[in-house]
Amino acid sequence: MTITEFNEILDFAVEREHEAAAFYRSLQEQSKFNAHNAMLKELEQMEMGHIVVIESIRKKGIVTQDIDKVVNLKISEYLTKEPDQEELNYQNILIRAMKREENSQKLYTEMSLKFPDPELSKLFRQLAADEAKHKLHFEQLYDEFLKSGN
């Protein structure tokens, strides 16, 4: 793999993280509740943190680290109806966020299989694991929300 190809792949990953940060930023603008905004701001910052990690890979190379195994509650996989785009309540925020993280995880997993370079494959597996952690976070919040009788 050439340096140019490697940088194009990193550019792709950075663009995806910018899109995710923008997604959470747009939800903040739509939400009417400060508690929701605080959570969404935290998630926006986590996505921006991924950009920092990816850019450090561009400068320093891929640092091998263990990839955490993340539990999958599969809540988002069982939700077939898209949340109401007009009503930005807590439940719909969680569903939209779960679905977004699920799709990002799937994309990075597919990317990890697409590239034969072991370091690059591991980078995408790590990004997929990070997205799985975010998804799990939302699934747990959603589960707690439902258990509380809402």
123-146 pLDDT, tens digit per residue, is 889 889 989 998 999 999 999 999
CA distances from 98 to 6, 9, 78, 138 (A): 29, 25, 11, 6
> 118: domain CATH number?
1.20.1260.10
CA–CA distance, 122 with 18 (Å, rounded to integer): 21
Bigger pLDDT: 85 vs 93: 93
**108, 86, 110: which is closest to 96 by C-alpha?**
86
Domain around 99: 3-147
The letter for the amino acid at 34 is N
Q: How many domains does one find in the chain?
A: 1
**Contact partners, residue 131, CB within 8 Å, separation at least 6:** 101, 102, 104, 105, 108
Q: Whole-model pTM above 0.85?
A: no
CA–CA distance, 115 with 58 (Å, rounded to integer): 17
Mean pLDDT value across the chain: 86
CA–CA distance, 19 with 28 (Å, rounded to integer): 14
